Structure formats: structure tokens, C-alpha cells
């Protein structure tokens, strides 16, 4: 065997092995959660609130409500900021301030979520003297904005410059080109970015520990402590009661399913964008 062929074989093996490893890890995690979680899923699980410590039965309805509320409010707060920042950065490509905004978004993306949690605790919880779902949403919005900014920018940059030139050549002003051509062409991609960002924050736990805190009751008031699936998993899994631990698996299954669905939706939309481009 020639050295060139040997090198080719070794590299080919490494590449394939890494790919298989990646798939295996995902399958093992999802499969294990599915097996452990699915058997305790029942109607009560989705409709009831937790029973007192040590008693069996009950459900996580309060946490499901909480995850939806906290994630949606965070996305509602973060979407305009993230999108507009992304539009700004894309429209002012190459300019100093746009570069600074991009750099800040990248840096903010790198801030550990526990730090975001402490930040939310110090500036929101302590100041308003109460744990609240709203402070959790705001903390999560800080994680939502930078990803949204970057995705929006990247999708807008994919819009062919020829389309924008065509619009300018027809006499369109810059704002009209940005809105009617760039954003509309990139709309599916931007939406997909929003879904990906939502998937990312839906599973966050650390910021919620310091802000939403958790609650045993179904809570609709954003100004009060609220439970969420990651919190419920954390509390249940670290409890000494097998029934609660089992419930944690089921909650984990529901959470993973939710996130995978969001990501699947995002991918589906990206496929549509690429079709538009071609």
C-alpha cells in the first residue's frame, strides 16, 4: 500500500468514525430519555400539578405552562432587539460601529448562562424583591438577542446583491429595499433563526434557578415565581424519591421533544430559504 493510500484510508476512517460517534451519542441520549420517560407519561402528568414530596402521582402541568410562558415572553422581548440589530449590522457591513455590535453579540453569546442568571438575580430579583417569571424571561432574552442578531445578519447577507441592485435600479430607496427585498427574501430564514434561538433558551436551567425560582402551582402571573420544565427536572432528579425521579425523566422527554420540534421547524424553514435562493 502506498503512503498516499494509507493516509487516505486513515483519514477516511477518522472522519467516518467521528460521524458515527456523533450519531451514537445523540441516539443514546434520546433513546434513554425516551425509554425512561415514556413509561411514566400519562394524562395526569400533563394536567396535574406536583404532589407533596414523597407522595406518588401528580404531574408537571405547572412547569409546561411555565416553560411556554417564560420562553415566549423572552422571545417577544428579544425578537425586536435581535432582529433590528441584525438588520443594522447587515445593512452597515464594513462600518466600525456595525463591527462593534457584531463583536458584542459574539461576546454576549459566550457569556455562561449561570452568569446571566446571577445578573438577572442582582439587577431584577434583588431590586424588585421577588423572584418572578418576568425576570427569568428578561435574563433569557439576553441569551436570545445575540443569537438572533447573528442569524438575522447571516441570513440577510445571503440575499443576492443583484436583487438589491435591481430594486435600487427601479428607483427604490434604501429603506424600501431593506424591507421589501432583503427582509422579505430572508423572512423564512429569519423565522428559522428565531425558532433556533427559542429552542436554545427553552432548555436553559441556570438563569431560571436565580430568577423564576419555581412554584408548585399553575402560575399565569409573570410577576410571580413560576416553574419550568428544566427547573422541575433539576428539583425532581435531585430528590430522594424514585417517583419524583421518574417524573424528571418524563419531564426531560417532554422538554427534549419540544426542543427537537422547534429545531425541526427551523430546519424545514431554512430548506425553504435555500430553495428560494437557487
Partner 1 sequence: MEEPVIVLETQKINAWFGKDQVLFDVSARIPKNRVTAIMGPSGCGKTTFVRTLNGLHLMTPGARSSGTVLLEGTDTSTMDIVDVRKHIGMVFQRPNPFPTMTVYENVLAGYRLTGQRLSREKADQIVEAILNKVGLWTEVQSKLFKAGTSLSGGQQQRLCIARTIAMEPAVVLFDEPTSALDPKSTAIIEELLSDLKADYSIIFVTHGLQQAARISDYVAFFMLGELVEFGETKRVFVGPQDKRTEDYLSGKYG
For position 42 contacting partner 1 by CB under 8 A, the verdict is: no
DSSP state of 104: H
Q: Which is nearer to partner 1, 184 or 268 (CB)?
A: 184
For position 1 contacting partner 1 by CB under 8 A, the verdict is: no
Report d(CA 145, CA 123) in Å as an integer: 18
Instruction: Provide the H-helix boundaries in 129-223.
Output: 133-158, 161-169, 174-176, 184-202, 206-211
Cell of 145: 438577542
Long-range contacts of 162-169 (CB under 8 A, 24+ apart): none
197 CA to centre of own chain: 4
Among 65, 85, 101, 177, binds partner 1 (CB under 8 A): 177
Among 8, 55, 160, 268, binds partner 1 (CB under 8 A): 160
CB of 96 to partner 1, least distance (A): 13
Among 185, 196, 227, 232, binds partner 1 (CB under 8 A): 185
Which of these segments, 122-130, 180-188, 216-224, 251-259, binds partner 1 (CB under 8 A)? 180-188
For position 277 contacting partner 1 by CB under 8 A, the verdict is: yes
108: left (phi over 0), alpha (psi -120 to 50) or beta: alpha
Task: Please tell me the count of residues contacting partner 1 according to CB under 8 A.
Answer: 22
* Contact set with partner 1 (CB under 8 A): 94, 160, 162-163, 165-173, 176-177, 180-181, 184-185, 187, 276-277
Amino acid at each position: 500500500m502506498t503512503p498516499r493510500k494509507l493516509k487516505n484510508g486513515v483519514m477516511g476512517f477518522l472522519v467516518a468514525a467521528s460521524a458515527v460517534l456523533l450519531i451514537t451519542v445523540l441516539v443514546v441520549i434520546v433513546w434513554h430519555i425516551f425509554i425512561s420517560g415514556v413509561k411514566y407519561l400519562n394524562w395526569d402528568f400533563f394536567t396535574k400539578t406536583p404532589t407533596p414530596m414523597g407522595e406518588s402521582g401528580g404531574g408537571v402541568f405547572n412547569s409546561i405552562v411555565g416553560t411556554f410562558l417564560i420562553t415566549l415572553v423572552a422571545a417577544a422581548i428579544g425578537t425586536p432587539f435581535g432582529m433590528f440589530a441584525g438588520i443594522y449590522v447587515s445593512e452597515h457591513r464594513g462600518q466600525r460601529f456595525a463591527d462593534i455590535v457584531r463583536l458584542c453579540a459574539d461576546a454576549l453569546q459566550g457569556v455562561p448562562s449561570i452568569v446571566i442568571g446571577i445578573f438577572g438575580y442582582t439587577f431584577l430579583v434583588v431590586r424588585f424583591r421577588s423572584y418572578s417569571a418576568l425576570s427569568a424571561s428578561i435574563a433569557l432574552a439576553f441569551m436570545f438577542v445575540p443569537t438572533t442578531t447573528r442569524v438575522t445578519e447571516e441570513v440577510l447577507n445571503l440575499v443576492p446583491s443583484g436583487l438589491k441592485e435591481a430594486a435600487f435600479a427601479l428607483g427604490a430607496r434604501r429603506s424600501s429595499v431593506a424591507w421589501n427585498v432583503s427582509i422579505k427574501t430572508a423572512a423564512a430564514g429569519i423565522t428559522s433563526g428565531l425558532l433556533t434561538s427559542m429552542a436554545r433558551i427553552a432548555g436553559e436551567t441556570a438563569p431560571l434557578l436565580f430568577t423564576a425560582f419555581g412554584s408548585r402551582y399553575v402560575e399565569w402571573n409573570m410577576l410571580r415565581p413560576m416553574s419550568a420544565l428544566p427547573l422541575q427536572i433539576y428539583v425532581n432528579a435531585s430528590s430522594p424519591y424514585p417517583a419524583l425521579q421518574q417524573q424528571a425523566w418524563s419531564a426531560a422527554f417532554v422538554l427534549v421533544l419540544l426542543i427537537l420540534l422547534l429545531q425541526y421547524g427551523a430546519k424545514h424553514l431554512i430548506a425553504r430559504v435555500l430553495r428560494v435562493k437557487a
